[in-house]
Amino acid sequence: MNSKVMSMKQAIQTYVEPGDVVFFSGMQHGEPVAAIHEIIRQKIGHLTIVPALTLTVGLLIAEGLVDKLVTAFVRDLFDKRRSYTITKARKNGTYPELEEYSHFGLTLALHAGEMGISFMPTKTLLGSDLARYNENIRTLACPFTGEKTAAVKAINPDVGILHVQRADQAGNAQKWGSLGMDRMGINASRKIIVTTEEIVDSKVIRSDPNRTIVPGARVSAVVEEPWGAYPIHLAGCYDSDLKSYLGGIEGGSAETFEEYMKEYVYGVESRAELIRKLKTLKGEEFFESLKPKNMVFSEPIRMGL
């Protein structure tokens, strides 16, 4: 089994290029936050990003690294309490072009990409005016019934970045909890970076294969990154710290945001260094309090063998 394990710095440097279309996993669950921080540190810009309701991509937008946002929801458009990450981009004239879908519409676009077909039909978008603003949503006649249906063009990101609970050295990655559109988006991607809380023996993966979200054969790099989704929660590993993120980092003042970026993104070289700094600030007890107390997993079946 060939090992694909490398550092976060190496994985991002090798597989993410300026101008890429990048899928980010995590519908506010298990977001690849450590990878997002590393992209910012390396200042990889002119990106088209495809987030699955991924909250922390706002940092990329704030830092002016995103030319186009392909998404189904932007909180700033509907919330009068505008986040500073969006406010900064608007102020600097770097707010990205928006290509908007419904959540299901974006899921179908990625599912078409995953399946290797050019589009996916759906009726759900027929009652929407999204097609007026998005040229990748069109209508056609069903070849079997003649009925009018909508069609969503496939999306195949250049790179997909996925954070999971565990993976082996070959990249067989397992994630559980809320998956959103992670499975479709990551498998539609041409190159895949898996970041994981821990690297486990392949026997662990094989003992419970239903949790595998992407096979190692599709994966380009594996990065072991404990607390890689913090401050977002990850099922079975830790709770979220959204109070500090939404109330301070994203939703606070310009001074609060810039100080955070200076101290905890640009001012560290790795996620491990970030967590050490935060433990000094918040205390070991705080991070221990985020961990689940009573883990319950279903036992893998043995098939009588």
**Range 142-145, long-range pairs (CB < 8 A, 24+ positions):** none
Compute the distance between CA of residue 288 and CA of residue 247 in angstroms, rounded to an integer: 21
Q: Which residue has the higher pLDDT, 244 or 19?
A: 19
Q: What's the domain range around 216?
A: 8-100+156-289
Predicted confidence (pLDDT) per residue in 140-152, tens digit: 999 999 999 999 9
Question: What is the C-alpha to C-alpha distance for residues 65 and 48, in angstroms, rounded to an integer?
Answer: 9
- Burial of residue 64 (number of CB atoms within 10 Å: 0-12, 13-18, 19+): middle
Whether 250 is in a domain gets the answer yes
User: Is residue 217 classed as helix, strand or coil in its secondary structure?
Assistant: helix
Indicate the number of domains in the chain: 1
Inform me whether the pLDDT recorded for 79 exceeds 80: no
Q: Is residue 143 part of a domain?
A: no
* Residue 113 pLDDT exceeds 90: yes
Q: Considering Cα of 13, then 180, then 58, then 244, what sign does the dihedral take?
A: negative
Buried b (16+ CB within 10 A) or exposed e, 95-118: bbeebbbbeebbbbbbbbbbeeee
pLDDT of residue 1: 66
Q: Is residue 34 part of a domain?
A: yes
Q: What is the pLDDT of residues 228-246, one digit of tens each?
A: 999 999 999 999 998 887 7
Q: Is 194 inside any structural domain? A: yes
Q: What is the pLDDT of residue 168?
A: 98
**Residue 77: band (very low, low, confident or very high) from pLDDT cuts 50, 70, 90:** very low
How much of the chain is in helix, strand and coil states, percent to nearest 5? 35, 20, 40
